[in-house]
Chain A
Amino acid sequence: MADLHLVDINSTLEMAATRAGFGSGLKKAGELDVNVVAACADLTGSVKMDAFAAAFPDRFIEIGIGEQNLVTVGAGLALMGKIPFVSSYAAFSPGRNWEQIKTTICLNDVPVKIVGAHAGLYTGADGATHQMLEDIALMRVLPGMVVMAPCDSVEAEKMTLAMAKDSRPNYIRVAREATPIITTAETPFKIGKAYVFSEGKDVTIISTGTMTAPALEAAEGLYKDGIDAEVIHVPTIKPLDEATILKSVRKTGCVVTVEEAQVNGGLGGAIAELLGENYPVPMKRIGMQDHFGESGTPEELLEYFGLDAKHIRMAAHHVHEMKQ
């Protein structure tokens, strides 16, 4: 779509990790607002808070390996008018400290920004303990929590800057490995908005985070197969842009959801809930099917667990047939 200023998916795509986009966004947010502060649990370089920490040492708190402390110190800082970004690996935060997030951030209604790094299968070789696949589900059930997953490093930076201005508790998941850059500085981003990255009329593919690039790739393949797929990128899983999704599904009549997370409670769960109550249609959910991951390269894992463009294309064929 021309007005979205996307990169041509068929060109040679530059690569960068979404965590890097977060890191540059955080430093920019710190430059724009003196109240932006950051805290980390012994992973400063890894979660890309190092540039902020170097630029604003008085506004950076090193918590050590204590994720419960991380988010609750963040809650305290927010109570004093700060805008705290708190980060660790998603496996540990929000993996370990869910109750503290519920009680001291959501029930307290303070604008703490929880950044879950190394989320999803892209964590690769570290294995199942470090592959956070349940974070979307865990954060999505919390009243008041905004849940987001950027599609590339460019969007991750915009998302981080938007989070610094948002008065609600936010969760953002970012990945370790470099993934294709598919948006540009001109591509719009607004919290709570879904974007039609590719228009079509036969099937709706709804993707979030790093899976939007393979979703676009799958749409290219489907076009050759004679199926005109619409790809909706959902950077904000909660609150969900219901209008954009329902408009598309009413047009196409079938849906595939794609995420690098558990489909139960994840984006797939969210879309199934929306459509189940409003406009039930044939649907397939691509993502982790109630399984843990394991060690391997991201490519090996994505293929093995059926999260690549090939599987998205097959799923689209499947729901398209179910419709007829």
Chain B
Amino acid sequence: MGLFRCIIVSKMGQTYTLLELEEKANTIREDIIRMLERAGSGHSAGPLGLADIFTALYFAVLRHDPKKPDWEDRDILLLSNGHCVPVRYAAMAEAGYFPKAELLTLRKFGSRLQGHPERLRLPGLENTSGPLGSGLSQGCGIALGLRMNKQLHRHVYVTLGDGELDEGNVWEAAMLAPKYGLNNVTAIVDRNNIQIDGPTETVMPLEDLKKKWQSFGWHVLEIDGNDIDAVIDACAMAKAITEKPVCIIAYTIPGKGVDFMEYDFRWHGVPPNHEQAVKALHELRTLGGKIRGEHE
């Protein structure tokens, strides 16, 4: 019932019910599976886990215009965890930045959809990333630039992976933002607890992660990152909190939506093969068996 009652008004004036946004997230997940299967390489778990966050960002949170990617009043979304770019490409195509058919060119020669995102190749990308740890500091530079340009209506969002927090560059930026009171930048940490070599707490423990960010001078919000409504609420709160920059620790399920990928770190850096993709798409299409699929 709640799904139908909850009306979301995006920054761009469109209205969606929460159910509609959840359907969009599901479509984005299906596109991620199709893209990765066709590409034959790439990361599965992170993008699937981030689908709800990117749906919230592109359809409710961000000031942006898919028909005018360089709109001078747009918000800035930086993907610091560049390996998760399939979710951004899928969300951008869903939002109308480019035709959906182009998604299947991911990682192919001549494609604008490079394996890791390149700003100059695809309008709508704000930064080039892949090597980890540099997104938040670029976000701080952008936030400083916006302040100098007196464009305080624009906001900077930076998504980071949790494994990425092993990088020292992240914490250099984490010190800088509170120093300059950068309340126009919001960090969104994808806390899915996995990285390539295993669970984050085995590879390099991050906890107490909330206290770490707090002690660096950030206001921390902890949310269910697979709850679109919670993501939208947290982003609104992040803009309302002006005395400190805000870090949203978004707990997500890696591989979310595909039963055999969920929680399994081995799906961090590999794509599904054809058989696995068919199985994954069936599951997504039937919402985990809750509804009958069209081809059953």
CB within 8 Å of B: which residues of A?
37, 58-59, 61, 63-64, 66, 68-69, 72-82, 84, 99-100, 103-104, 107-109
Contact = CB atoms under 8 A, between A and B. Distances in A.
A108 B148 contact: no
A107 B144 CA distance: 22
A82 B142 CA distance: 9
Contacts of B9: none
Nearest to B145: A80
Nearest to A72: B137
A104 B145 contact: no
A73 B127 contact: no
A28 B90 CA distance: 47
Given A82-B145, A103-B128, A104-B128, A73 B119 contact: no
A76 B182 CA distance: 13
> Which of B141, B144, B148, B173 has most chain A Cβ within 10 Å?
B141
Contacts of A64: 172, 175-176
A84 B141 CA distance: 10
B120 A75 contact: no
A69 B137 contact: yes
A54 B133 CA distance: 31
Contact of A79 (B131, B134, B142): B142
Given A69-B173, A100-B169, A107-B118, A77 B145 contact: yes
Given A69-B176, A108-B120, A76 B138 contact: yes
Contacts of A84: 141
Contacts, number: 99
B132 to A, nearest CB: 10
B81 to A, nearest CB: 13
Contacts of B133: 68
B226 interface: no
B179 to A, nearest CB: 8
B264 to A, nearest CB: 29
A104 B180 CA distance: 22
A108 B127 contact: yes
B44 interface: no
Given A75-B141, A100-B134, A107 B169 contact: no
A79 B142 CA distance: 7
A59 B120 CA distance: 27
B143 interface: yes
The 7 A-B pairs at the shortest CB distance, nearest first, are namely A76-B141, A80-B145, A69-B172, A66-B172, A72-B137, A73-B141, A76-B138
Given A75-B138, A107-B128, 18 more contacts: A37-B148, A63-B176, A69-B173, A73-B137, A73-B141, A75-B127, A75-B134, A77-B144, A77-B145, A79-B126, A79-B138, A79-B142, A80-B141, A81-B145, A100-B134, A100-B169, A103-B130, A108-B119
A107 B148 CA distance: 25
15 contacts: A68-B134, A68-B168, A69-B169, A69-B173, A72-B169, A72-B173, A75-B138, A77-B141, A78-B141, A81-B145, A82-B148, A103-B128, A104-B129, A108-B128, A109-B119
